[in-house]
Amino acid sequence: MLNRQTPMDQAAGLRKLSRQRPVRVITVTSGKGGVGKTNVSVNLAMDLINSGKEVMIMDADLGLANVDVLLGLHPRFNLSHVVNGDMSLEDIILEGPGGLKLVPAASGAQSMAGLTPTQHAAIIRAFSELNQNLDVLIVDTAAGISDSVITFSKASQEVIVVVCDEPASITDAYALIKVMNREHGLHRFRILANMVSNEDQGRSLYEKIARVTDRYLYVELDYMGIIPYDPALRKAVQQQSAVVNLYPDSASAKAFHELAVKTERWPSPRSGGHLEFFAERLLQQGYLEAGAW
């Protein structure tokens, strides 16, 4: 449950947490909906699991959850029960294929879509109390520039922005990066081109965004490559399974594997371990002083 504590209590609690292996937290987001963001989250998670990693997905599209749908899971409880104080975060975790751990959100719940930044921060704080051995936490956000997208991105170590070859996708991706950079101080973003025909098309998408950010923003963009348009991926979605498991030799599955390998090459997280880093990131940015806890 989400307990209200003083900043001093929170800081003391964070220091007392057990120090286990470092956990990498990756937010997967997009400026525009319909670009395949959740497919990226699910298949990245499953490929990391197939390589021996312990992985959790948080469905952070709080009012329009669909990670469970893509995996054919049927959660009885979700984050709305945590926000309402009926259950703890530990109570709602669902186990998926391969041992994937899922923190499910609500579907069709307007109240969850309209949570305040304080409530978002309280959800993140609850992660520091989890007793889970993890290597990676993937946060699948809503699209756009809502409070939830900003809060979860700020609490993460890495932000992957998914784009496709549509003018609105490119424009909205830039708008998202602009808001997170100018108003919230985020400086590094990983760009992934999804549903493209080839590497040249993906590189062109990245360069369109990079040209504008280089001119108007102080950010570092990292090109993460492409996920090609692939009928096998559509078939996997229809069968509510990850394409990396159902069609491992398909073009999209191989691309997801390359993406997973790239994430493993990123510098190791600086956090001491467990999940306290997720809350510490917000502590460092002033949420405790603002009374969010």
What's the CATH code of the domain at 124?
3.40.50.300
As a whole number of angstroms, the distance between CA 290 and CA 27 comes to 24
SS3 (DSSP) at 90: helix
Instruction: Give residue-wise pLDDT tens across range 227-281.
Output: 999 999 999 999 999 999 999 999 999 999 999 999 999 988 765 434 455 655 5
Q: How many CB atoms lie within 10 A of CB 121?
A: 26
Q: What is the mean pLDDT of residues 163-187?
A: 96
As a whole number of angstroms, the distance between CA 167 and CA 176 comes to 14
203 or 8, greater pLDDT: 203
Q: What is the mean pLDDT of residues 29-46?
A: 97
Q: What pTM does this model have?
A: 0.87
Structure tokens, 15:
């220091």
DSSP 64: B
As a whole number of angstroms, the distance between CA 239 and CA 159 comes to 28
Q: What is the pLDDT of residue 1?
A: 53
Q: How many residues does the chain have?
A: 293
**189 contacts 220 by C-beta, under 8 angstroms:** yes
- The fraction of the chain above a pLDDT of 90, given in percent, is 69
Q: What is the pLDDT of residue 293?
A: 37
Q: How many CA atoms lie within 13 A of 240 on its CB side?
A: 11
Q: Please provide residue 257's backbone torsions phi and psi, each rounded to the nearest 5 degrees.
A: -65, -45
DSSP 135: S
As a whole number of angstroms, the distance between CA 272 and CA 293 comes to 22
Q: What total of structural domains would you count in the chain?
A: 1
Which domain does 48 fall in, by range?
27-284
Indicate whether 289 belongs to any domain. no
Residue with tokens 């499953």: 46
Indicate whether 157 belongs to any domain. yes
Indicate whether 12 belongs to any domain. no
Indicate whether 188 belongs to any domain. yes
Indicate whether 201 belongs to any domain. yes
Indicate whether 1 belongs to any domain. no
Which contacts qualify for 251-256: CB closer than 8 Å, 24 or more apart? 252/43, 252/227, 252/228, 253/43, 253/47, 255/225, 255/226, 255/227, 255/228, 256/40, 256/43, 256/44, 256/47, 256/227
Q: How many CA atoms lie within 13 A of 87 on its CB side?
A: 14
Q: What is the pLDDT of residue 104?
A: 96
Closest CA to 31 of 204, 190, 175, 189: 175
**281 contacts 244 by C-beta, under 8 angstroms:** no
Across all residues in the chain, what is the average pLDDT?
87
Lowest mean pLDDT among 3-7, 39-43, 208-212: 3-7
Q: What is the pLDDT of residue 273?
A: 39
Q: What is the pLDDT of residue 278?
A: 65
Indicate whether 9 belongs to any domain. no
Instruction: Give residue-wise pLDDT tens across range 82-140.
Output: 998 999 999 999 999 999 999 999 887 888 888 888 888 888 888 877 888 889 999 99
> In sequence order, what are the beta bridge partners of 25?
137
β-sheet with 55-60: strand ranges across: 94-95, 101-103, 55-60, 136-143, 24-30, 158-163, 188-196, 220-228
Q: What is the mean pLDDT of residues 60-89?
A: 93
**39 contacts 237 by C-beta, under 8 angstroms:** yes
Residue 132 is inside which H or E element, if any? none
**68 contacts 140 by C-beta, under 8 angstroms:** no
Indicate whether 71 belongs to any domain. yes
Amino acid letter for position 220: E
**190 contacts 222 by C-beta, under 8 angstroms:** yes
pLDDT at 289 over 50: no
Q: How many CB atoms lie within 10 A of CB 107?
A: 18
